[in-house]
């Protein structure tokens, strides 16, 4: 059995490794030793998470802000799941960056913030209460701003500032919710079903419901939920592709986990089910799903198209949580993994195209499949999964989301048909904005007879291809064999309902 102090290892290991790169940079101007150091820290950090995943729940108190306000870590099943997804995908994105950013300036700074963010994310996953979570959440925001601003162009600096402003607004809403909710809490530890004192809540139900919506809006900012979604389509086009991948696939999940903790482990779904908060929240998620898909369909800039896609797809997860039905929650948790695997692959593919072929717009990609076949096959296969076509994991998650929508109760009856209809329309739009890229890539038509230099191979190096291939393969394998994940999430849904 692991000692409780081991929870600090997956947090401190990447943080210390990042500080060494950023402050000391012992390898000087040489790229290869720095890459080896960063890669070793990434790999060791991922390996350090594994013992926590396969051990009983651990708990470690760090310090107290006051006599009754502890800051502590705990590894429950929900935290373990998010830690597994975040650490694995973050590690692969880090290795991808070695090829994508090779030869660029400011690499020590990028690697330092990349490693430190990975450690803070593990702290966020293993937070034992909302105060610990909020501290890690804010630190994560500060550490990811330099990733957005990495290239230090006027556009990237402006995007980083916008990202910071939106994040501060969202965090302020969360903090307001914590302050207002504190008098109704019976403890400061996350617990399935919520930790509110029924006697204190009696007579103040509407106040608590309003607080729940405020916190959902606050955490929803990071998850890209309307109306505080505007940072996503601004930040992604200017950030390096390796940063865009984790901003979309991982950082947005910090907002998802915050809402999951607030609704199911802090307030409790029983109080919110059938309330105006649930109806409002669900309406916002469905609006975001449709709006993001429609704007992605209309967008010609490749990375911005993928950014609008993230706005839509992360709200699939939020919609599943808003159903407050076990089947919908299972679908939401499945889509967390599906979206993380798929969207990171899509952004990595886009980055490979930008770096190798120097194309940034969709209308420039005719025949790119002949020049970059591995990259475009990865793009195509995960696109099929994001549309929701079997055998990919995206099909399984969207099937459960649709079933959850049909099975939910406590909301107006028209939601039972409106929600699946919007999910279906969004899936068709997703096919329109992703599969058309693959059609252009592999079936360019008359432009196939252009001069031969245009069709020279320009495939990405192996350090960029391997992460894409692993993520693609895993998204398919988990779709073919989803049983273990489904059983895990059914158990979690049963606990919190």
The tens digit of pLDDT for each residue in 236-291 reads 888 899 999 998 899 999 999 999 999 999 999 999 998 999 999 999 999 999 99
Examine residue 44 and state whether it is found in any structural domain, yes or no: no
Output phi, psi for 365, to 5 deg. Answer: -100, 15
Which pLDDT does position 451 carry in this prediction?
42
Which pLDDT does position 238 carry in this prediction?
87
Average pLDDT of the segment spanning 224-246: 90
| Contacts of residue 309, Cβ cutoff 8 Å, sequence gap at least 6 | 292, 293, 296, 343, 346, 386, 430, 433, 434
415 versus 256: the higher-pLDDT residue is 256
Per-residue pLDDT tens over the stretch 285-335: 999 999 999 999 999 999 999 999 999 999 999 999 999 999 999 999 999
Cβ distance 133 to 56 under 8 Å? no
At residue 104 the predicted structure's pLDDT band, cuts being 50, 70 and 90, is confident
Judged by phi (left if over 0) then psi (alpha if -120 to 50, else beta), residue 157 lies in alpha
Picking from 246, 277, 284, the residue whose alpha carbon sits closest to that of residue 262 is 277
Which pLDDT does position 33 carry in this prediction?
76
Which pLDDT does position 448 carry in this prediction?
45
- 């500080």: which residue's tokens? 19
Selection from 188-202, 224-238, 291-305 with the highest mean pLDDT? 291-305
Where would I find the H helices in 323-461?
Answer: 326-357, 368-371, 373-387, 393-407, 415-442
Average pLDDT of the segment spanning 121-134: 95
Which pLDDT does position 447 carry in this prediction?
53
Distance CA 336, CA 171 (A): 22
Examine residue 313 and state whether it is found in any structural domain, yes or no: yes
pLDDT above 90 (res 347): yes
Examine residue 395 and state whether it is found in any structural domain, yes or no: yes
DSSP per position, 423-439: HHHHHHHHHHHHHHHHH
Number of C-alpha atoms within 13 angstroms, CB side, residue 56?
Answer: 4
pLDDT above 80 (res 438): yes
Which pLDDT does position 450 carry in this prediction?
46
Examine residue 426 and state whether it is found in any structural domain, yes or no: yes
Examine residue 445 and state whether it is found in any structural domain, yes or no: yes
pLDDT above 70 (res 28): no
At residue 433 the predicted structure's pLDDT band, cuts being 50, 70 and 90, is very high
Average pLDDT of the segment spanning 93-114: 88
Please provide the average confidence, as pLDDT, over all residues in the chain.
91
At residue 492 the predicted structure's pLDDT band, cuts being 50, 70 and 90, is confident
pLDDT above 70 (res 411): yes
Examine residue 296 and state whether it is found in any structural domain, yes or no: yes
Residues of the chain with pLDDT > 90: what percent?
A: 72
Average pLDDT of the segment spanning 11-24: 90
Q: How many CB atoms lie within 10 A of CB 270?
A: 12
pLDDT above 60 (res 115): yes
pLDDT above 50 (res 397): yes
Examine residue 350 and state whether it is found in any structural domain, yes or no: yes
Q: In this predicted structure, which of 359-368, 399-408, 409-418 has the lowest mean pLDDT? A: 409-418
Per-residue pLDDT tens over the stretch 153-187: 899 999 999 999 999 999 999 999 999 999 999 88
Examine residue 391 and state whether it is found in any structural domain, yes or no: yes
Please state the domain count of the chain.
Answer: 1
Average pLDDT of the segment spanning 116-129: 95
Structural domain boundaries, residue 451:
273-302+309-497
pLDDT above 80 (res 457): no
- Considering the entire predicted model, what is its pTM? 0.94
Which pLDDT does position 31 carry in this prediction?
66
Which pLDDT does position 25 carry in this prediction?
61
């Amino acid at each position: 059995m692991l000692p409780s102090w081991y929870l600090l290892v997956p947090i401190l290991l990447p943080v210390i490794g990042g500080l060494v790169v950023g402050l000391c940079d012992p390898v000087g101007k040489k790229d290869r030793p720095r890459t080896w150091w960063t890669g070793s820290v990434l790999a060791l950090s991922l390996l350090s998470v594994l013992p926590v995943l396969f051990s009983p729940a651990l708990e470690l108190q760090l310090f107290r802000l006051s006599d009754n306000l502890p800051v502590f870590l705990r590894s429950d099943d929900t935290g373990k799941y998010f830690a597994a997804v975040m650490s694995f995908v973050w590690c692969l994105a880090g290795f991808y960056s070695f090829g994508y950013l090779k030869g660029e300036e400011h690499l020590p700074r990028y690697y330092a913030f990349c490693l430190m963010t990975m450690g803070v994310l593990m702290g966020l996953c293993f937070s034992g209460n909302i105060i610990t979570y909020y501290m890690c959440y804010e630190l994560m925001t500060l550490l990811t701003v330099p990733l957005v601003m990495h290239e230090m162009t006027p556009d990237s600096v402006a995007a980083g500032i916008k990202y910071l402003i939106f994040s501060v607004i969202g965090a302020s809403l969360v903090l307001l919710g914590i302050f207002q909710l504190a008098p109704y809490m019976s403890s400061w530890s996350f617990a399935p079903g919520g930790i509110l004192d029924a006697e204190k809540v009696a007579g103040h139900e509407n106040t608590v419901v309003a607080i729940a919506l405020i916190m959902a809006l606050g955490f929803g900012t990071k998850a890209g939920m309307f109306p505080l979604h505007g940072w996503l389509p601004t930040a992604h086009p200017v950030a390096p592709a390796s940063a865009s991948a984790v901003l979309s696939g991982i950082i947005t999940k910090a907002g998802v986990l915050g809402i999951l903790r607030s609704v199911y482990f802090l307030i409790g779904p029983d109080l919110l089910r059938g309330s105006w908060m649930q109806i409002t929240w669900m309406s916002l998620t469905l609006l975001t799903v449709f709006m993001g898909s429609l704007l992605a369909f209309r967008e010609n800039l490749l990375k911005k198209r993928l950014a609008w896609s993230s706005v839509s797809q992360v709200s699939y997860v939020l919609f599943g949580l808003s159903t407050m039905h076990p089947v919908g929650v299972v679908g939401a948790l499945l889509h967390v993994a599906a979206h993380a695997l798929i969207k990171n692959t899509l952004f990595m593919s886009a980055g490979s195209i930008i770096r190798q072929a120097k194309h940034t717009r969709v209308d420039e990609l005719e025949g790119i499949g002949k020049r970059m076949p591995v990259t475009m096959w990865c793009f195509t296969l995960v696109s099929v999964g994001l549309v929701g076509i079997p055998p990919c994991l995206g099909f399984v998650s969207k099937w459960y989301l649709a079933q959850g929508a049909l099975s939910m109760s406590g909301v107006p009856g028209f939601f039972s048909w409106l929600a699946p209809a919007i999910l279906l329309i969004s899936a068709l739009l997703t096919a329109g904005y992703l599969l058309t890229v693959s059609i252009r890539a592999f079936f360019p038509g008359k432009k196939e007879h252009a001069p031969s230099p245009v069709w020279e191979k320009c495939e990405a190096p192996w350090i960029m291809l391997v992460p894409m291939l692993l993520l693609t393969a895993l998204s398919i394998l988990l779709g073919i064999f989803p049983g273990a994940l489904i059983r895990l999430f059914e158990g979690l849904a049963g606990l919190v309902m």
